Amino acid sequence: MRVVGGRAGGIELRAPSGRRVRPTTSLTRQAIFSMLESCGCSCEVVLDLFAGTGALGIEALSRGAAWCDFVDRSHDCCSVIRQNLAKTGFADLAGVYCIAASRATEVLERQYDVIFLDPPYDEPSTDGLLSVLSTSRLLAPDALMVVSHGNRHPLSDTHGPLTAWKKRRYGDSHISIYRREEQ
């Protein structure tokens, strides 16, 4: 698995051993960032929830994001994310939090332009977490939330001020991008 574009394009990223982590494929990451570019997203401050390898956040940093916070509850994943940040030269542009994604609203204090939410596809609470995040202080005005998900637990089209803006399917992966609309 490699960084697709930007300053770190081509650098190979590590993944934790075993099959617990499902890294976002290069094709899907490329598609996500193409969609973000098409809408003119600033993507300056980014949050990568259920970060796993950190591939989505590192891709954002590689493409010009000023800061990215990574959240994963697995200590193995947090260690791999730190190694990947060091390898790509982005360690000074990131924070790594080894906590559950549901605690992010309690711990983090920044406002994010983009939040990547890439939970395990069998995670039943994704829709609920989207609702909590939609009304949290973590979302900047005009923020986007990019959610990777499977078929098993469909997502609602609206969550508070978040409305589904684009939806795409790549094999078993579904990408839903929600846009924050001020009410």
CATH number at residue 78: 3.40.50.150
| 70 or 134, higher pLDDT | 70
151: in domain: yes
Percent of the chain whose pLDDT exceeds 70: 89
70: in domain: yes
Residue type, 172: D
Residue pLDDT, tens place only, 101-144? 889 989 999 999 999 998 876 666 777 888 888 889 999 888 89
Q: How many domains does the chain have?
A: 1
Residues facing residue 169 across a β-bridge: 174
Q: What is the pLDDT of residue 22?
A: 65
Q: What is the pLDDT of residue 83?
A: 96
17: in domain: no
166: in domain: yes
pTM equals: 0.90
* Confidence category of residue 155, pLDDT binned at 50, 70, 90: confident
Overall average pLDDT of the 78-83 stretch:
96
| 160 or 61, higher pLDDT | 61
Q: What is the pLDDT of residue 175?
A: 87
Beta strand pairing call for 162-170 and 173-180? antiparallel
11: in domain: no
162: in domain: yes
20: in domain: no
30: in domain: yes
CA atoms within 13 A on the CB side of 104: 32
Distance, in Å, from the CA atom of 145 to the CA atom of 83, rounded to the nearest integer, reads 26
DSSP-based three-state secondary structure for 77? helix
